[in-house]
Chains A and B, each alone.
Chain A
Amino acid sequence: MTQRPPFLRFGFVLAAAFMFATSLPAFAQEGSAPAVPELTEEIVTGIMTRAVDDVIRPGYRTFEASAGKLAEMTNAYCKAPSDEGRKAVDAAFRQAVTDWGRIEIVRIGPVIDDNRFERILFYPDRKGTGLKQVQALLQEENEADADAATMGRKSVAIQGFGAIEFALYGTGSDAVAKAPNAFRCRYAAAVATHIKTTAGQLAAAWDAPDGVQKDWKHPGPDNPVFRTSKEAMTALLGILVHGTEAVRDQRIETFYRNGGIARPKSAVFWRSGNTWTSITANLEGLQTLFDKSGMGDLIDPSIASVNGNIDFILKSLRRITPTIDPDMAKAVSTPEEQQKISFLLVNTRELILAFDGGYGGAIGLGSGFSFSDGD
């Protein structure tokens, strides 16, 4: 697996590598090829149909509903702030983060059109560009900025989870409850409404019978997305590989690297204490897609360990993430919690290999998915 961390310096690794550079290659001549399933149209259509109808479409619809609930709870809280109302907002926010986390693993299709992904979650915000925009907006209290109907025409950084989280949980967030109908609260509610709108667009795009779902279910020469069954299966596997890479590279290593400087305030959803909620949901989404699509059924029973390995790693990861301290400053500084995060780093790497080389190789992508992701 290619090492992704972009800012590592490899000098020391290369120096070590070169201690062995003069030895002749130990390339073996190829042995017996693994059993490869035939990716017939019928089989692949079945898998893609289950992926679309049992995972992706319900995923977006559920997310739309929870975003709607968040908007509803936030609106009610804005009108009449109360402790009980705040608990309802917190619960709705957490649920929306969870439902987005489960479906955000799908980073292809309508979600990448019109910057929808970034509209929902602008992250990482390495230079604080989005944060500065939200802070300025809250300072100015321009009523137009609390209008969900026009929010889509503005910067993507002010219309998603990052914005609503700062409004509800960031510095100065007590302003949302100081008085009924506080601007900051109404802005948060407007963002939630806008997220629901974006989620609704995604659900609609996937629900349209002649739209993307048809393209995904029926590869063929006239299909604008997948010309062959192999292309479709490759894309489906790509969701799993890229989804796992994102958990590791974009969600964990953004704030914690073994031997690196911890940056707990760079973690996604750190302000609301939902970092592990989000990451757990990502892992649940990966497992749901793998299980419900029936991808594993393609694997010859003689190498069923390919599936077993994936299942074991996913369950191991999901067992750990909910137990890590949601206070990210503590999570990165407590030895016991550090060990858990290190465990995640090691095992997400293993999961990438299990999907990429393990499953990918078993279905006929001989060199693995990532390797065939050319350049």
Chain B
Amino acid sequence: MRKAGGQSALLDRRAFLRMAGAAWAAALTPQAAFALARTEAVFASGYKASDGSFGTAVLAEDGGVIECTPLPARSHGMAFSPTTNHLVAFARRPGTFALVIDRGGQKQPVTIAAAENRHFFGHGCFSPDGRLLYASENDFDANRGVIGLYDARDDYRRIGEYQTYGIGTHDLSVSDDGTLLIAANGGIETHPDFGRTKLNLDHMEPSLALIDAKTGALVERHTLPEKLRQLSTRHIDLDEKGRIWFACQYEGPRNDLPPLVGHFGKGEDLTFLSLPEDTTIGLANYVGAIAVNRRESLVGLTSPNGGRFVVLDAKTGGVLRDESVPDAAGIASAPQGFAVSSYDGDFAGRRNDVAWDQHIASLKSRA
């Protein structure tokens, strides 16, 4: 485990077993159950196996794989509800499936197929009560981002959608009280006819939007200044005060040094952090994932392009740690610091013959 110091509460094994459910635990092999019994924290991440197949894995804090689930194609982000113990793996854009796994083992997995003329953007989140799943999706013919609403109590039936008030929506989160949805509109136009090709790099429209979770109405929309119009606002996480931290990927000239991370809150303007030049260069204009460790007031960033893992002080914005992690992929808050994975199979210092995808879900509630 890559850690950035500080004390933390452990995820109690018994609590996790309660959370996971007796049926699921009983289904584990003895080795997996033993691994689960010893772990202090549990994570999930998508992977590509050495034979080219894809899946999602549940891992212990030490990077040991507890369980895996094959998938037909590559997944990207995940959503987890500690209330219902449901874990969702979203297909990577422009994918058309999301898979819901009941960690309690009480229900068969549910496959969500994208609605007609929509595809998933790869991220989503649950309402705090676990009743609604929100998914970032592309209304590609209209070139607008939408949030698909799925009823968890009705086999994830799609019951509607909201606008995201932007294009190229990527990450999606929800406030702790469930009243606000936060959409990271990366601003890049794509269309499934053209695969993953970015169609509007010369006229991007990045924005961050706060949306009323009950009505879908726009609460606030933050656009970027003209000089940063090629800064794609793609990933977000929330700190203990509800402040929204965002991380960016820059599509402009490679020798520019744009700000890559910032924060805002409801009623607040965007604030960009001014990182040291070496750190910005190290991140290679591309932050692939961001995570907040609330207990320790830390913000973690990973950059596969730059092969960097950076830890910031959430209070001051100062860099606490900046180290090389080749092919750095996902990051998640851990009991101490952060869990970091890599494309070349490293997870918390343990290597497996897989490529971990770019995001890690922490299978526990925010602490």
Binding site for B on A (CB under 8 A): 1-4, 6-11, 13-15, 17-18, 20-22, 24-25, 27-31, 107, 112-114, 124, 126-127, 221-227, 231, 242, 245-246, 249-250, 254, 353, 357, 366-368, 371-375
Look across to chain B and name the residue whose beta carbon is closest to the beta carbon of A215: B254
Most chain-B Cβ atoms within 10 A of its Cβ — which of A17, A124, A231?
A: A17
For window 263-294 of chain B, which residues contact chain A by CB distance below 8 Å? Answer: 281, 284, 286, 288
A222 touching B92 by the CB < 8 A rule? Answer: no
Contact between chains at B71 and A221 (CB < 8 Å) = no
Q: For the complex, what is the distance from the CA of A222 to the CA of B91, rounded to whole Å?
A: 37
Interface residues of B in 36-75 (CB under 8 A from A): 48-50, 52, 54-55, 57, 65, 67-74
Taking CB atoms, residues of chain B closer than 8 Å to A107 are 197
Verify if B358 is at the interface (C-beta below 8 Å from A). yes
Interface residues of B (CB under 8 A from A): 27-29, 31-32, 48-50, 52, 54-55, 57, 65, 67-74, 76, 91-97, 99, 108-109, 111, 113, 119, 122, 141, 170, 192-197, 201-202, 234, 249, 253-256, 281, 284, 286, 288, 304-305, 327, 343-345, 351-355, 358
The CB with the most chain B CB atoms within 10 A, among A113, A366, A375, is that of: A375
Which residues on the B side are within 8 Å of A13 (C-beta)? 72
A231 to chain B, nearest CB (A): 7
Looking at A25, A249, A371, the one whose CB has the most chain B CB atoms below 10 A away is: A25
Using Cβ atoms and an 8 Å threshold, which residues of chain B touch A20?
A: 70
> Of B55, B254, B351, which one neighbours A227 at CB under 8 angstroms?
B254
Determine if A372 and B354 form an interchain contact, defined as CB atoms under 8 angstroms apart: no
Besides A18-B108, A28-B50, 14 other A-B contacts (C-beta < 8 A) = A6-B94, A6-B95, A6-B193, A7-B96, A11-B97, A11-B113, A14-B71, A17-B72, A21-B109, A25-B67, A30-B345, A227-B254, A366-B327, A367-B327
Assembled-state Cα–Cα distance A8/B343 (Å): 27
- Per the bound structure, the CA–CA distance linking A232 and B58 in Å amounts to 35
Contact between chains at B286 and A374 (CB < 8 Å) = yes
**Nearest Cβ in chain A — how far from B326, in angstroms?**
8
CB of B193, distance to nearest CB on chain A (Å): 5
- Tell me whether B353 and A227 are in contact (CB under 8 A): no
Which residue of the partner chain, among A2, A25, A242, A368, contacts B92 with CB atoms under 8 Å?
A2
Are B195 and A9 neighbours in the complex by a CB distance under 8 Å?
no
What residues on A are CB-neighbors of B32 within 8 Å?
Answer: 24
Complexed CA–CA distance, A338 and B304 (Å): 42
Taken together as a complex, chains A and B put the C-alpha atoms of A3 and B52 apart, in Å, by 11
Contacting residue for B48 out of A113, A222, A367, CB 8 A:
A367
Check if A374 sits within 8 Å of B288, measured CB to CB. Answer: yes
| Pick from A25, A224, A372, A373: contact of B254, CB under 8 Å | A224
Residues of A within 8 A of B99 (CB): 14
- Chain B residues lying within 8 Å of A221, measured Cβ to Cβ, are 255, 281
The contact of A371 among B48, B73, B195, by CB within 8 Å, is B48
Are A25 and B122 neighbours in the complex by a CB distance under 8 Å?
no
Q: Are A113 and B202 in contact (CB under 8 A)?
A: yes
For A371, the closest partner residue in chain B by CB is B355
In the complex, how many angstroms separate the beta carbon of A55 from the nearest chain B beta carbon?
21
Which chain A residues lie closer than 8 Å to B255 at the CB level?
221-224, 227
A73: shortest Cβ distance to chain B, in Å?
Answer: 32
Q: Which chain B residues lie closer than 8 Å to A7 at the CB level?
A: 96, 192
Q: Is the CB of A10 within 8 A of B52?
A: no
| A176-B111 Cα distance, complex, nearest whole Å | 54
**B305 and A374 within 8 A (CB):** yes
Contact B70 A373 (CB under 8 A): no
Question: In the bound complex, how far is the Cα of B131 from the Cα of A85, in angstroms?
Answer: 70
Q: Are A29 and B355 in contact (CB under 8 A)?
A: no
Which residues from A are CB-within-8-Å of B254?
223-227, 231
The distance from the CB of A42 to the nearest CB of chain B, in whole angstroms, is 21
B327 near A6 with CB under 8 A, answer: no
Q: How far is the CB of B20 from chain A (nearest CB, A)?
A: 14
- Chain A CB within 10 Å — which of B70, B201, B345 has the most? B70
Chain B residue nearest to A20 (CB atoms) is: B70
Q: CA separation between A165 and B168, bound complex, in Å? A: 33
What's the least CB distance linking B46 to chain A, in Å? 11
A14, B109: Cβ atoms closer than 8 Å = yes
Decide: A9 near B93, CB < 8 A? Known: A27-B354, A366-B343. Answer: no
The 3 nearest A-B residue pairs measured at CB: A6-B192, A367-B355, A224-B253
Least Cβ–Cβ distance between A35 and chain B, in angstroms? 15
* B111: contacting residue among A2, A10, A31, CB under 8 A: A10
Residue in A114, A124, A245 whose beta carbon sits within 8 Å of that of B193 in the complex: A124
User: A223: which B residues are within 8 A, CB to CB?
Assistant: 254-255
Question: Complex: how many Å from CA A324 to CA B5?
Answer: 64
- Whether A366 and B195, one on each chain, are in contact in the complex, defined by CB atoms closer than 8 angstroms, is no
Residues of A within 8 Å of B327, CB to CB, are 366-367, 372
A10 CB contact (under 8 Å) in B96, B108, B194, B286: B96
Given contacts A8-B96, A10-B97, A22-B27, contact A371 B343 (CB under 8 A): yes
| Complex A-B: 27 CB contacts under 8 Å | A2-B54, A2-B73, A2-B95, A9-B113, A10-B73, A10-B91, A15-B111, A18-B69, A18-B70, A20-B70, A22-B27, A25-B55, A27-B49, A28-B50, A30-B352, A113-B202, A114-B202, A221-B281, A224-B255, A242-B197, A246-B195, A357-B52, A367-B343, A374-B286, A375-B76, A375-B170, A375-B358
Closest approach, in angstroms, between the C-beta of A320 and any C-beta of chain B?
A: 23
